[in-house]
Amino acid sequence: MLNKLIWGKSDKHSQDLQERISEISNEEVPAHIAIIMDGNGRWAKKRALPRVAGHHEGMKNVRKITRAANAIGVKAITLYAFSTENWKRPRKEVEFLMRLPEEFLGSFLPELMELNIRIEMIGEMDVLPDHTQRAVQNAMEQTKDNTGMVLNFALNYGSRTELVLAMQRIAKKIKDGDLEVSDITEHNITSELMTANLPDPDLLIRTSGEIRLSNFMLWQLAYTEFWFTEILWPDFDEHAFFDAIKDYQKRNRRYGGLKGE
């Protein structure tokens, strides 16, 4: 799969990436990585370009990081692509963002199939434009039998809404007599979340210098390691991604206990 990761790069760059992949693969790799892809607008502004140019460049970077994650054996990657709050942005920008899944999934789908990557989505699908829904549903259908890494897009996703919907489903089970209040556990709640089929993230990466979660996977990130960087998302290359992994590999994850001490 290395040829897919280094496609179009110089021999020196390819060799550097191969060395880093080998180095990282010798230690524990996070199974699930969540990424808040921030900084597209600022990237464009620095270059006197419209914001949509930054979003387009950010979309291209998703390919690069997807290949890198797959190359080191990551099992799942969740990308915060569009939040429930992003509808407040200018209409033309939102319309452009809603077209990106068509372009990305349409052009990247053959490679996703070759790499055995499965597309999934969390968020409220029915609020998305029809053309966006079709693009996402087609990609999920085409890749549903793939058994490799999961590329999970958070589209029209907000964690508080996710939790409210989960509580409503649990409340209905209690009302219908299928569940007792005393039987509610963390497992019950987790099983009602949009990420029920995924393990909680081991590592969260946020680009562009912001240090907050922005309503992203609030329940799932309870014991996740955080890694923040000033790098804007379109500039967040494989080496920056591998830097985050290396930092993660140095940490002692205790989960409230005294592991390693």
- Reading the block at residue 234, the tokens are 């379109």
Interior CA angle at 224 toward 98 and 206, to 5°? 45
**Nearest Cα residue to 230 out of 255, 213, 211, 247:** 211
Active-site pick, 16, 86, 146, 237: 86
Distance CA 76, CA 215 (A): 20
Q: Residue 255 gets which letter from DSSP?
A: T
**Which residues are bridge partners to 34 per DSSP?**
78, 204
**Is 178 one of the catalytic residues?**
no
Which of left, alpha, beta for 156 (phi over 0: left; psi -120 to 50: alpha)? Answer: left
**Which residues are bridge partners to 118 per DSSP?**
150
Active-site pick, 3, 11, 26, 38: 38
Strand, helix or coil for residue 135: helix
**Is 188 one of the catalytic residues?**
no
Tell me which residues are annotated as active site.
Answer: 38, 86
